[in-house]
């Protein structure tokens, strides 16, 4: 009995986190288009050329960290600074969730 309750609680927690992530991925997919990320990183997270890094399959925590560093100027880059300046923390999380969900090349 105890184990059944524990299993049910774990399953509920797990599906709630999966659903939350699905929401972030969906929102990130829209943001990638609206914000223009796809112009350089592609819809599938594969850069359009050798100087545009692939984002597909990268750890989402890594992508979040990099976007925050571009936004703050800690990681200086003329192109990405302009892209990240106006992103909110929530938008960064969603964009990172989206690109991390794409299969690595």
Single residue of 27, 52, 57, 68 touching ligand HEC by CB under 6 A? 52
Which residue is it, tokens 């192109």? 79
Question: What 8-state DSSP symbol labels residue 21?
Answer: H
CB of 86 to ligand HEC, least distance (A): 9
Among 11, 12, 18, 36, binds ligand HEC (CB under 6 A): 36
Residues 86-105 close enough to bind ligand HEC by CB under 6 A: 95
Q: Is residue 17 a contact point for ligand HEC (CB under 6 A)?
A: no
Please tell me the distance from the alpha carbon of residue 86 to that of residue 35, in angstroms, as a whole number: 10
Residue 11 in the binding site for ligand HEC (CB under 6 A): no
CA within 13 Å, CB half, 41? 25
Between 35 and 101, name the residue whose CB sits nearer to ligand HEC. 35
Which among 88, 85, 82, 94 has a CA at the least distance from the CA of 39? 82
């Amino acid at each position: 009995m105890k184990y059944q309750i524990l299993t049910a609680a774990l399953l509920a927690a797990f599906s709630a986190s999966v659903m939350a992530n699905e929401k972030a991925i969906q929102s990130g997919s829209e943001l990638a288009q609206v914000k223009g990320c796809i112009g350089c990183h592609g819809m599938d997270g594969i850069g359009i050329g050798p100087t545009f890094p692939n984002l597909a399959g990268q750890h989402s925590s890594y992508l979040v960290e990099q976007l925050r560093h571009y936004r703050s100027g800690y990681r200086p880059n003329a192109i990405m600074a302009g892209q990240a300046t106006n992103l909110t923390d929530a938008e960064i999380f969603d964009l990172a969730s989206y690109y991390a969900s794409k299969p690595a090349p």
